[in-house]
Chain A
Amino acid sequence: MKPVIELKDVWKTYTMGENKIHALRGVSLTIQKGEFVAIQGPSGSGKSTAMNMVGCLDVPSKGEIYLDGVNIAKLSESSLAQIRGRKIGFIFQKFNLISTLSAWENVMLPLTFQGMNESERRKRAKERLEAAGLGDRMNHKPNELSGGQQQRVAIARALVTDPEVILADEPTGNLDSKTGATVMQYLQELHQKGKTIIMVTHDDKLAHYADRIAFLKDGIIIKATKADKTKTQVIA
């Protein structure tokens, strides 16, 4: 299998006054195409920073990150934006929908940034929302939707560009356990269809939906294990 993402000795250092804080201290991780990987760790462990690196939202202070063989640590802001738009789909804990736009418009937005023509992006967004079971809620604003529906809109938005990698940051953090389980099942289905999924979570039960778990503590990977699928039964 070909690696989609490779982190090689990645450091992220923030300077706060005279202190230097190392959010990541030499993280190396290889994720193969089609893998479902969970990055697990307590808060402050650097897992969000790691995800930002993988998602091209941030660049490392030191080290290299390869996405499809391209070192993104050296790319310009505008190139990073284009890579994010085409190759990565984000699912956030707080859904992060644009409140002034309808569900349909939210899902169309990534295609807008790619310069796709209007009729095509309307069509694609509609298909995605219908696939997520929201065909009748397309013209509703986020505040008119339930938490579960909002997260499904967010997932539709993440998938509409047909990205190679889905990055989910605590995707069930703002949902009740039943809705959370549905979202996790949906992610699993996507994984089965061949998508690469990277999920950041502090929740042990969620992490076990993945193929592999990387435990992060104080900015380093302390352990990488195969997930135990039986543990996911608790919430499913």
Chain B
Amino acid sequence: MNKDLIKYGLNNLWHRKKRSLLTVISIFIGIMAIFALISFGQGLSSYVKSISSEMGTDKIVMQPKGGFGNPTESAFQFNEEDVEFVKKVSGVSEATGMIVTSVQVQQDTAKKSRYVYAQGIPTEQSEQQLINELFATDLGSGRELKKGDTDKVAVGYGYSQPNTVFEKPIGLGDKLYINGKKVEVIGIYEPIGNPIDDMNIYFTSEAMVDFLGAEKEYATIFIRSSASEDPREVAKTVEEKFRKYKDQDEGKETFFVQTFEDLIASFSTILGILNTVLVLISLISVVVAAVNIMNTTYTSVLERTQEIGIMKAIGAQNRHILFVFVFEAGVLGIIGSAVGMFFGYLIAKAGGFFAASAGYSMLQPAFPLWLVLGCLVFGFFMGALSGLAPAYQASKQKPVEALRYE
């Protein structure tokens, strides 16, 4: 459309600064919330995607039903025979269990103690590889645990940081007391991204039993399917065979088998639903903003009735008048969106910063280009559509009556 009419519209918004500003404020709040929420949702889902791609698609997990929470308090746990059984199922290339137990850890027997999870890492190369792939953790310094490392441990990233697990950071070769027993730190992991996991202590599976006296029971069995097999089919086979082995009825199993991909997918779906609900809630404020834009435009039409008459007298057609008011409403929408995105960005960044300093480094917002452009386009159309009814009314005014309006 015409540059002069665009300038006329912008002049009008500027001329009524205070009202324009108030309208922009009413718009930006909703957009700010939506932008921040979606950026977090995006960050989280790309994190989930990245871990699932790091883990590969050949992994399958087997867990007791209802064992999704605390790994040490499941209904039942698998034993060594179960793992051996699963290993023999056709299509399974590798299977291993992980012993998990809660332990007391101290830097010094006289000092304060913390309760953390100790996990048993298998010492066989291929099994250890499977666990490492699944947990997507790399050793930051030191060495991997190997067979015979009875009183040696690897520790989570949190131990290497001051004022995290303990006041004083732990280094390689330092001593720790686990359930009162002295152990040596031989490896420190890279951060996993949440404070609980970063406080883990890793023993060899043998040491978990022999040194800590833990039961040889597993909350989870981790399986790798053979390269030539479809992991979903393998998961089905494992479930079927294990059900028969345990003599359970179909549908009444006390365990479940799922590919890691499906597990991640269902996790992503839950995240997605949660995010959508939050975005829908913030859409309420967008509706309020839309009503506000409509109100502003109605007021503006009323105030400028005579001007509409003048413009019609000097040759403006209905479409010119319609354009001016829709454009003004759209500009309010787009400015509101831009301001909203700016504050949404700050909030998301601040949120990410606080999450990271609380140890949740995986909770980081992402700002893809489509989100920025989408918000601007959404803002413009929301404004323009809200302004449509009053603009249409303005465009339909009879020139004589509009001119006479005082």
Contact = CB atoms under 8 A, between A and B. Distances in A.
Contacts, number: 76
Given A100-B12, A101-B8, A161 B315 contact: yes
A53 to B, nearest CB: 9
B314 A157 contact: yes
Name the prevailing secondary structure of the B interface residues.
helix
Contacts of A161: 315
Nearest to A97: B310
A109 B314 contact: yes
A114 interface: yes
Interface in B314-335: 314-318, 320
B400 A52 contact: yes
Interface in A31-54: 52
B2 A78 contact: no
A90 interface: yes
A99 B16 CA distance: 12
B22 to A, nearest CB: 19
Contacts of B398: 58
A77 interface: yes
Contacts of A228: none
Residue among A58, A100, A118 with the highest chain B CB neighbour number at 10 A: A100
B4 A78 contact: no
B270 interface: no
A105 to B, nearest CB: 6
Contacts of A101: 8, 11
Contact of A85 (B11, B314, B400): B314
Nearest to A122: B4
B347 interface: no
A84 interface: yes
A112 B2 contact: yes
B11 A90 contact: no
Contact of B315 (A52, A85, A97): A85
A92 B310 CA distance: 10
Interface in A77-129: 77-78, 81-82, 84-86, 90, 92, 96-101, 105, 108-110, 112-115, 118, 121
B301 to A, nearest CB: 15
Given A101-B8, A105-B4, A57 B403 contact: yes
A175 B400 CA distance: 23
B311 interface: yes
B63 to A, nearest CB: 69
Contacts of B7: 105
B311 A109 contact: yes
Interface string B117-160: 00000000000000000000000000000000000000000000
Contact of A90 (B306, B314, B317, B318): B314
A78 B403 contact: no
Given A100-B15, A118-B3, A86 B315 contact: yes
Interface residues of A, number: 31
Interface string B392-406: 000000111001000
Contacts of B320: 113
B59 interface: no
- Counting chain A CB atoms within 10 Å of each CB, the highest count among B2, B312, B313 belongs to B313
Nearest to B3: A118
B400 A90 contact: no
A55 interface: yes
Contacts of B2: 112, 115
Given A58-B398, A98-B310, A161-B315, A112 B4 contact: yes
Contacts of A92: 310, 403
Contacts of B316: 81, 85, 113
Given A58-B400, A112-B2, A118-B3, A98 B317 contact: no
B307 interface: yes
B5 interface: yes
Contacts of A105: 4, 7-8
Q: Which 9 A-B pairs give the minimum distances between C-beta atoms?
A: A85-B315, A113-B315, A100-B11, A110-B314, A112-B4, A81-B317, A58-B400, A96-B310, A57-B399
19 contacts: A55-B313, A58-B400, A81-B315, A81-B316, A90-B313, A98-B8, A100-B8, A100-B11, A100-B12, A100-B15, A101-B11, A105-B4, A105-B7, A109-B4, A110-B314, A113-B314, A113-B316, A114-B315, A118-B3
